[in-house]
Structure 1
C-alpha cells in the first residue's frame, strides 16, 4: 500500500500538476469538483471519533480531500482551488477564483486581485496595483502622480494591467475545464485592500463577502455594461482615524482568448 496519492512519473513531470494516481490509488472527481481518492493505504478511522471519520470518508471508502481539481488530457491531476471556493457560471462553467487570482498576482505590478463570476454570465475582476512596482515604472518613464489613487487611474497603468489579463486569459484558454472562465471586464481599485478596512484578514487573505458588500456598486457596474462608476469609500488611516475617499473608476472590457482564436481562424 502506498502513502502517496499521486506521483510525477519519470519523463512525464509537469510543473502545473500533482502528477498521476500512484500505484493502487483510485481518484475521482465529485460532482462539485472535489478530488476524492481511495487506496489500501487510507487510514481506517479516527480513534474514538466516528463523526470526524464520517466527514472524511464515505461508507465505501472514498476520502474527501477538500481540494477541487480535474484531470488534464495526459491523465495528470491539476489542483485549482479549495472545493468550497469553487463555483459555476450561469452556463455551468467551472469558476475557481483563487486559481485565476493567483495567476494575476504572478505579475509584479499586481498586488492583489479579486474575481467574480459565481452565478454570473462571465468573470470580472478588481485589481490592486503594487505601489512600489508601478511607482518605479512611473519614475523610470517620467510619469507624474500625486497619490496611489491617481497612479491607479492612469490609462498607461490600465494598458499594462489589461495586457496581464490577456495573458492570463490565454493561459486559461489552454485548460478546457477553465477556458470559459476568462476575465471579460475589469477595473483598477482606487485604494489598496486593507485589513484595517475589513477587506483582508490579518494574514492578508481576501474577505470576499465583505468586499462584495462594500463594493457592490462597482460589481454591478462591471455587469451592467457601464464604462465608469463613481464610489465613495470609508478608509482607516494609520493613526486609526476614519475618513473617506471618492473616485470615478474606469471599467475596461477585455477580449477573451477564444474570441481572438476565432478571429484568427476566419
Structure 2
C-alpha cells in the first residue's frame, strides 16, 4: 500500500497532464494538473520545513474546499506532520479550543473570516507560531509577523527548495503507513469534540476495500462541496481522489453550489441526509407549482406499471439534469439516517442511491449497502461491512467494529480512548441490530429513554418520519417519562413560502409565515399521518404525538443546538426550550417568546394533534 504523498508522486508521473482539481473563481473554472499540483505541494512542504515544522507537528487547515488547502494537506503529510481540518465558519471560541487541544504550530487559512477569528484567540495560543492566509483581500492592516500571505509563504518554500533540491522527495519517502494522516474532530453530538488519530493505512486500506467493492473508476468527476472538516469529505473526496487520480471540483461559494454542481455533472456523489432532503423539498416545491402534475403522475405510474420511456424522457431525466445529477453512477448518503420516503424518491427518479455507515473513528466508512440490500424498505438499513472490517452488536445493542479502519485513539485523551476501544473493538455509541446480515442503525445510546408506559422512546425514528415532509426542515420530539409525545417543528421557509404564494397568502417573513392558520393545518396533517403509523415508526406501545408547536426560528449552530453536520444536540435543545416543552405538557394553548429585556418577540401556538 502507498501513503498519500507517494500516491501523489505516482499520479504526477503516470497522469501528469490530467486534471487533478478544478475550482470556480469569478465565474471561471480554473484547473490544476497532477504535475502542477505536485510542484506546488513540494513548495508548500519546503515552506513548512523553513518554518521549522517537523514530523509529528500538527497543522490546522481552516477553510472551504479550495485547491491550496488540499495541497497543504498533502504537503503536511509529506513532511510527516499531521493536518487537522477545521470548519471555515468556526467561532474564535471554537478555534481556540481546537487549536489548543491539538497543539497546532501553523494554521493555513482561507480568508479574512478565519484570520479575524484567529486574531481574537491568538493571545491564548502560545504554540501557534504563524497563520498563513490564501486570500489577500482586506489583509493590509494585520500583523505581518504573525500572519503571512500564501504567496510569501510559497516564496519561502521556493528559496528552501533551491538550497535543498531533494528535500521534498526525501521527506515524502520517509512517511510510513503507520504515520498519522489526520486528526479529525468529532462533531460533538454527545459532548465535547474529540480529535481522532487516523493513519495513512486506515484511510488507504479502507478506500481500497470500498473502491474494489463499489467499482470506483479513475475518471470520475467528484463535487467537493461539504466542509473539509467532515470525516466523510476526507474519505469520499480526499482519500478516493488520491487513490484513484480522478478529478475533484470545488464550487465558487455555497450560494452558487447547485449551479456549479450542474456545470460539473459529477459521476460519484456523496451527501448527508439534509442535502438530499433539501433537494427533495426543492423538487417537490417545483412540482407543486406545476399545473401538469407530471411528477406525481410519473411516480404513480412507476409503482403500478414500471418505469416508462416517456417518464424518463419528460420528467425524471430533466429533474436530474436540473440538479446536476444526470451523470451520477455512484451515489451515497451517510452521516445519519435518511427518511425512507426521500431515499426511495431518488431511487425512483433513477439515482442508484446507497446508504453508508461510518464514524469519525472509522476513517469515514464501516458499511455500504449492497445491490440486494439497497432495495430494503427499512430506512435504518446501512448494508454490510467492507472487506477487512468486522461489525457486531453487543448485548446492550451497541454497534462496535474493528479492522483496517479502526483509529489509533483520541489525541491527548487516554481515558476517552480506553473507554471507546475495548479489547480491540471500537464502541460507536450507536444502537442497532443485524437483520439478515444487514446492519441497522437506530439511535444514539444516550438519546434512548422510556415513555411513562415503559415502552422504549427512540426519538430519531419519529423525527425522521416527520421530516419526510418537504414542508418541515427540522423536528425535535420529547416524551421521556410522559404519556404522549410533543414536537417542536421548524418549517422549511422556502417550500412553505412557495406553497403559501401559490395560495395567494400574505406574509411578511419566516416568523409571520409560521403562525398562519393554513400553515398550522398543513403541519397538523403531517402529524396526523405520522400518528396513523406511530407503532410501526416508534415501536410497540409508542404513544401518539398529542401536542406540537411551530417555532419562530431555526435551531442555531452557534449556540450549540446543532452540530455542523446538522445533528441536533438533544441536551442543549431540551435545556434551551425547557419552558416551552413544559408548556406543551400543560393545558395552555399559547407561549410567549421574550428577549433578554423581557420584550415580547413572538407568541407561539401550542396545538393539539
TM-score w.r.t. length of structure 1: 0.69
In 1, are the aligned partners of 2:490 and 2:553 still within 8 Å (CA)?
yes
In 2, are the aligned partners of 1:36 and 1:62 still within 8 Å (CA)?
yes
Counterparts of residues 58-207 of structure 1 (less than 5 Å)? 58=422, 64-70=427-433, 76-175=438-537, 177=539, 180=542, 182-195=544-557, 199-201=561-563, 204-207=566-569
| Displacement after TM superposition at 1:231 (Å) | 1.4
Give the corresponding residue for 2:419: 55
Query: RCO (CA 8 Å, sep 6+): is it higher in 1 or 2?
Result: 1
CA distance in 2 between counterparts of 1:250 and 1:175 reads: 26
Specify every segment of 5 or more residues in structure 2 that has no aligned partner in the other structure, as ranges. Answer: 1-208, 210-364
Comparing 202-211 and 143-152, the one that deviates more: 202-211
Q: Deviations over 1:194-230 (max 9, x none)?
A: 3456644555443433433333222112112x25122
Give the corresponding residue for 2:382: 18
| Displacement after TM superposition at 1:66 (Å) | 1.8
In 1, are the aligned partners of 2:367 and 2:385 still within 8 Å (CA)?
yes
| Displacement after TM superposition at 1:132 (Å) | 1.4
CA spacing shift, 1:172–1:86, aligned 2, 3 Å:
same
Q: Deviations over 1:133-178 (max 9, x none)?
A: 1111111101112332221112211112122223334454325736
Higher relative helix content: 2
Within the alignment, does 1:223 sit opposite 2:585 as a pair? yes
| Displacement after TM superposition at 1:249 (Å) | 2.3
CA spacing shift, 1:125–1:147, aligned 2, 3 Å:
same
Give the corresponding residue for 1:246: 601
TM-score w.r.t. length of structure 2: 0.34
How much is the aligned-residue C-alpha RMSD, in angstroms?
Answer: 3.9
In 1, are the aligned partners of 2:462 and 2:538 still within 8 Å (CA)?
no
Specify every segment of 5 or more residues in structure 1 that has no aligned partner in the other structure, as ranges. Answer: 236-241, 255-266
CA distance in 2 between counterparts of 1:44 and 1:126 reads: 37
In 2, are the aligned partners of 1:95 and 1:178 still within 8 Å (CA)?
no
Aligned length: 240
CA distance in 1 between counterparts of 2:487 and 2:526 reads: 12
CA distance in 1 between counterparts of 2:495 and 2:393 reads: 42
CA spacing shift, 1:245–1:34, aligned 2, 3 Å:
farther
Give the corresponding residue for 2:399: 35
Comparing 13-22 and 144-153, the one that deviates more: 13-22
In 1, are the aligned partners of 2:591 and 2:606 still within 8 Å (CA)?
no
Comparing 106-115 and 82-91, the one that deviates more: 82-91
In 1, are the aligned partners of 2:393 and 2:399 still within 8 Å (CA)?
yes
CA distance in 2 between counterparts of 1:201 and 1:46 reads: 24
Comparing 114-123 and 156-165, the one that deviates more: 114-123
In 1, are the aligned partners of 2:593 and 2:603 still within 8 Å (CA)?
no
